[in-house]
Structure 1
Amino acid sequence: MNSDIVYFPIHEHLDSSHLGQFIGHEGINIYKIEKENGVTLDICKNEEENSIVRLTGPYWNLKCALNDVVELVTKIRNNNQRYKFKIPPKDVGFLIGKNGAKINEVKLSSNVDVHFDRSEKPEKPDGEQEEDTDVFVTGNYQTILTGLRLICDRLSSKGQQTLYDDPRTLQFAESLMESF
Structure 2
Amino acid sequence: METSLVEGGLNVTLTIRLLMHGKEVGSIIGKKGESVKKMREESGARINISEGNCPERIITLAGPTTSIFKAFSMIIEKLEEDISTSMTNSTATSKPPVTMRLVVPASQCGSLIGKGGCKIKEIRESAGAQVQVAGDMLPNSTERAITIAGTPQSIIECVKQICVVMLESPPKGVTIPYRPKPSGSPVIFAGGQAYAVQGQHAIPQPDVSEGPSLTKLHQLAMQQGPFPIAHGNQGFQAGMDASAQTGSHELTIPNDLIGCIIGRQGAKINEIRQMSGAQIKIANPVEGSTDRQVTITGSHASISLAEYLINARLSSEATGLAAN
- TM-score, normalised on structure 2? 0.23
More helix by share: 1
Q: Larger relative contact order (C-alpha < 8 A, sep ≥ 6)?
A: 1
More strand by share: 2
